[in-house]
Structures are given as structure tokens and as C-alpha cells.
Amino acid sequence: MNGFFQRGLRVGILLLVVLSGSTGIYTGCAGESEEMVRKKLDVICTSDLAAIIDSIAAVDLLEKPYYKLVFYKRYTEGKYSRKAIAEFYFLNKVAVKVVRKYRYLQTVRMWDRYSNEYVFVHDTAGGVVAK
């Protein structure tokens, strides 16, 4: 009975290893979770905000500089699987914002910033200040 038990234990361990490996392969092929992709976007946007405000005098900054995500879309085809647009607000006396566009390259699982533009913010009367 002892030999039978040992053989059964080996088969069970082998089965566990095979199932664990195939699960890892499956999740690797399936890609990252949406939560992880969004966390990576948050990291790059937070880093970009820090870089923007780093070169500006504290007196010219908003009390709490911030960014907001104004566009986010997933794509099923193409080289890039996602696109996002973020607006960065940081100056207290000038109505300007930075608009940055990002795309997510699935093959390397990284966000790529491909556009950086300074844009005047709408004035309080509802008109548009020239770009």
C-alpha cells in the first residue's frame, strides 16, 4: 500500500504542476487586467504632472495642481489597444492647460505619450480664448 500511495502522490504533484503551468500560460496570453492597465496610466499621468510643476515657481501654481482623464477607449484591433487623453491644470493666474495623449502598446504592456499640447482654457464669460 505504501508504494501505491507514493505513486499516487507523485501523479497528484505532477498534475498540480501541469495545471499550474497551463494556468500561467493562459493568463499570460490573455494579457493584463483592465485594472492594471489603468494603474499604469495613473502612474504615468502622476509622473507627468510632477514633471510639469517641477519647473514652475510655487507662487504661480494652483494650490492643488491636478489632472483629469477626459477620454479613454479600448480597441480590439491594431497595434495599440487603448487610447487616453488627460488634461493637466496647474497655473493659478493663466488660463492654460496641458493636453497629453497616450496610447497603450499591448506587445510591451506600456503607455506611450505621443502628443503634448498647451491649450488656453475657456474664459469665464463662456467664450474661447485663442489657442
Cα(53)–Cα(67) distance, integer angstroms: 12
Cα(109)–Cα(123) distance, integer angstroms: 39
The DSSP bridge partners found for residue 62 are none
In 3D, which of 81, 27, 82, 91 has the Cα closest to residue 57?
A: 91
pLDDT at 117: 96
Q: Where are the domains of the chain?
A: 1-30, 32-131
Digitized pLDDT (tens) for each residue of the chain, 131 residues in all: 455 445 554 544 544 444 444 434 333 445 689 999 999 999 999 999 999 999 999 999 999 999 999 999 999 999 999 999 999 999 999 999 999 999 999 999 999 999 999 999 875 544 444 43
pLDDT at 32: 84
Cα(30)–Cα(37) distance, integer angstroms: 13
H or E element: which one contains 7?
helix 2-30
pLDDT at 7: 52
pLDDT at 2: 52
Amino acid at 5: F
Cα dist. 87→13, 79, 93, 114 in Å?
Answer: 53, 24, 17, 14
